[in-house]
Structure 1
Amino acid sequence: MRTQFEPGDGRHDPSLSTVMSERRQLINLAYRLLGSLADAEDVVQEAYVRWYAMTPQQREAVESPGGWLTKVAGRICLDQLRSARARRESYVGEWIPEPLPDRTEWAGGRPSGANADPADRVTLDESVNMAFLVVLESMTPAERVAFILHDVFRYSFAEVAEIVGRSPAACRQLASSARRRMRASHAPAAATTTASRRAAVVRDFKHAWETQDIAALIGLLDPDATALADGGGVVNAAPHPISGSAQIAAYVVAIAGKAPDQTLLERTVNGQPGLVIQQDGVTTAVLAFHIASDRITHFWAVRNPEKLGAWTVGR
C-alpha cells in the first residue's frame, strides 16, 4: 500500500527505522479520517503498540510493515468513527474538526515559537481544508473511510475492502456515494477563488471586525452565509448555527464589543487563509473560512481549548 504523501518502501525490512518512517503517513490518514489531531496521534500510537505486541517472528513474516500498520490504523479509525456518532450526540453545541496551523504565516514570515511537532506532520492540501472536513462529517463511517483511502490516498478498492471489511464492489459504491455528498456540498468551490483573493477577503473581514463596521461585514458575507462555533461546553460559544449575513455581522460586532482588547491575527488554518483570536497572548479561537465568488459562505470558529493545542502562544 502507498499514499501520495509518503512513498517510502517498507517491504522486507521491518526494522525500527523502517517502521517508524510510516508514522507521518499514518498521521495524515488518521487526521483526515477523524478530524482530530489528538485522536490521530492516539490511533497511530495504538497501531504501533499492536505491531510491537507481535513476536519478532510474526513481524518478520509481514511483507509490508507500512501496509500492515495502515490496515490496523484504518480499522481503529473506523471503530472510532462508529462510536463517535454516539459521542457527538452528547457533545455540547456544534462539533467542528480540530483546526491545524501551518509552519508559516500567509501574511509573511515564520511565526515565533513554531515547532514541527505534531501538526506539521500533516500534509496541508485541499483534503484538509475545513469545508472538506465538515462534509466528511456528514458521511457514514464506511463512506468516509472508503472515500479517503481511495480518492485521497489512492488505495485500490481491493485494499480498501481489507480495511472496511466489505467487498471491493461495495467499497466502490461507498466511495461513489461519498463523492455525491461532496459534490452536493459544493465544498471544492473554494478553488474557483484564487488564494490571493481568499486572503484579501479574510483580511478585509478582519479589518471590518476590528473597526466594528457592520456594513462592511455584510458586504463580505454571502447573504445565505452560515457561521458555526465550537466551545465544547468548556467555553461560551453560539450553541446553534447563525444564518444570514446581517445576523452574522451583528454577532461578530457584538463579540468585538465585549472583548475590545482581543487581537486578530492572519494565519493559515488547514491550508487556507484564516484568523486567530488571542487574548493576552493566549489563543482563544481559530477561525476557518469557505469563500466562493469573493464572498464568505461559511465560517467556523473553534473555541474549545481542547482543540487548540497545536496553536502555540507564539503563533
Structure 2
Amino acid sequence: MAKVLITGTAGFIGFHLAQKLLERGDQVVGLDSVNDYYDIRVKHGRLNITGIDADEIEYGKLIQSAKHDNYRFIQLQLEDDQNLNGLFATEKFDTVINLAAQAGVRYSLENPRAYIDSNIVGFVNILEACRHNEVKHLSYASSSSVYGLNETMPFSIHHNVDHPISLYAASKKSNELMAHTYSHLFGLPTTGLRFFTVYGPWGRPDMALFLFTKAILEGKPINIFNNGEMSRDFTYIDDIVEGVIRVNDNPPKGNPNWSGADPDPGTAKAPYTVYNIGNNSPVKLMDFVRIIEETLDMEAKKNFMPMQAGDVSATYADVQDLVNNLGYKPQTPLEYGVSQFVKWYREFYKV
C-alpha cells in the first residue's frame, strides 16, 4: 500500500485524484493552502466530500478525514519550507503528486508575484523535500501553456517549448527545467504532466465552462475572445485522473538513447520525462458554446472580443507517448463531460 502526498487537494484535479487513490486503498495525505483565488465555497465543498470539515482546518495541523481512515489533510503553503520539511520527515512519502500552484493565464498579468511564490519558490521546496526524504517519484502539474508560440500541431513533448507567452506558462516551463536538474544531479525520478484544458464536475470557477454556464443561466452575455477563432483540446477530469495515476505508478527510468548531440526535449538520460494529457481532439470555441447551449436548452448572449494577452489561439495534444508507454488515451466525449458539469453546477448552486 503506497503512501502518497497530493498537493492541491482543495483544488479541482487534486480533489478528484485523492478520491480515486483512496478508493484503491492508498494512504493519502492531502495538502492545500485553501486560498481565496476563487469561490472558497467550492474548495470547502470539495474538502467536505472527502471528509474534511472546513471549520476544523488549522494551519499546519494534520486533520483526519471523517469519511476515510486512509486520508488526512493539512493546510500548508508550499513556500513554508520549514513546515513542509517537517511533514516530509515525519510522513516518509513513497510518491508525491504536486498539483498545488497559482493557476490561471490571465491572472498572471495582474498578480505576477503570486506565481513566483507558489510556482517557483514552492516547487523548489517540493524538490528539496523529495530529495532529502527518499521519495521514489515526483509527478507534478505542468501545462499545455508551455507550448506558447509553437504552431506545429499537434503539440508534442518532443518539440522545443522555448517561447511561453505568459508568466504562468513560464513558471510551468521552469518547473520542468528544475525537475530535470534534480533528476540529473540526485537521481530523483520526476514526471511533468502537461494538462490540456481540464473540465468536469467541481471545475474551477475561472474556467470557460464554469463562466459560460453561470452567465447563460443568469441571462448575462459571455465573452468570446479572438472573435471565436479559437480551439481547445478539452480533457475530461476522469481522463486526467486516470492518466496521473498511471504516471504516478510508473516512474521514469531514463532514455538510454538520449543524446546531447540531438537532444530530445521530452526525455533525458536521467529519470525524467514529461507527458501530454489531453483528449487529442481539439474543439472549436463556437462548437463548445453550442454544446453548452444545447445542454442548458438556452441560447447564450455573445460578446465578441479581441484576443487576450497571454492566450493562444489553439491547443492540440499529441498523446502518443502516453499510449506507447502507459497504454492510455483519454477519450471522453465533450457532450458527456459538459452534461456532467452542468448537472453538478445546478445541484451545487441550486439553479
TM-score by length of 1: 0.27
TM-score by length of 2: 0.25
* Greater RCO (CA < 8 Å, at least 6 residues apart): 1
Between structures 1 and 2, the one with greater helix share:
1
